[in-house]
């Protein structure tokens, strides 16, 4: 799964890298410990390619309340086309969730060792987004990150990893007129990410700062 990640790049950098035409009016502070229900950046396509701020943890449009959002931070690649919570968003509301890298916890002895997984360029994690109307009549926009089987070189850390969308597939993935870009739902490619152990401070959502991604 992907339960924590780092997102420290400026919106200007994201606009440039993801070839965004419509920047976000809301600016988020850099974070090296993005956690469920936090506000996050997402790239989506409507008439233009947009950078938007969403809340991490999907709330389907038909939900009675938003209480289950923290449990909907990830969607399994194997079931997104058919699972009721995700299939409508998969058909028309796909997005990219930018990240510097993400964290996974590897069981070691009686505890777990956190690892940080990253690459030089921003990660384009495959996501879905939804709009939900609150009982008060306000709109809440949320997202989830799609996970897939981890490639062999990362599977020893965790058996799941975010689905990463390569640059040459962004247009198809984001296109709301393409109902099923199933060819993109493949397992991770070995050798793309580097991984190293980091301090256990990342386990506390109140801790933040670039020191969380430094190797120990």
> Which positions are catalytic?
2, 104
Single out the residue of 36, 27, 33, 25 nearest to residue 7, CA to CA: 33
Task: Give the HSE-up count for residue 172: Cα atoms under 13 Å, Cβ half-sphere.
Answer: 11
**CB-based contact 65:144 (threshold 8 Å):** no
In order, the DSSP letters of 141-178 are EEEEEEEEEPPHHHHTT-SEEEPBPPGGGHHHHH-TT-
DSSP letter assigned to residue 90: H
Q: What tokens appear for 124 in the block?
A: 């384009």
Q: What tokens appear for 36 in the block?
A: 């469920």
Measured distance CA(66)–CA(34) in Å, rounded: 19
Strands (DSSP E) found in the chain = 4-7, 31-34, 39-45, 49-56, 74-76, 94-108, 111-133, 139-149, 160-162, 194-197
């Amino acid at each position: 799964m992907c339960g924590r990640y780092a997102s420290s790049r400026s919106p200007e950098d994201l606009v440039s890298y993801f070839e965004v035409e419509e920047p976000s009016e809301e600016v988020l502070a850099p974070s090296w410990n993005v956690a469920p229900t936090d506000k996050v950046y997402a790239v989506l396509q409507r008439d233009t390619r947009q950078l938007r701020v969403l809340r991490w943890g999907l709330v389907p449009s038909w939900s009675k309340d938003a209480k289950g959002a923290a449990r909907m931070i990830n969607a399994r690649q194997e079931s997104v086309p058919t699972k009721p919570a995700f299939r409508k968003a998969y058909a028309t509301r796909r997005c990219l969730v930018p990240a510097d890298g993400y964290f996974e916890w590897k069981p070691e002895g009686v505890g777990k060792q956190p690892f940080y997984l990253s690459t030089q360029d921003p990660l384009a994690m495959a996501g879905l987004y939804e709009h939900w109307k609150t009982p008060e009549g306000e709109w809440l926009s949320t997202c989830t990150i799609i996970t897939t089987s981890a490639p062999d070189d990362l599977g020893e850390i965790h058996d799941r990893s975010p689905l990463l969308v390569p640059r040459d597939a962004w247009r198809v993935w984001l296109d709301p007129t393409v109902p099923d870009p199933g060819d993109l739902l493949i397992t991770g490619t070995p050798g793309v990410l580097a991984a190293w152990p980091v301090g256990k401070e990342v386990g506390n959502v109140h801790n933040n700062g670039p020191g969380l991604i430094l190797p120990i």
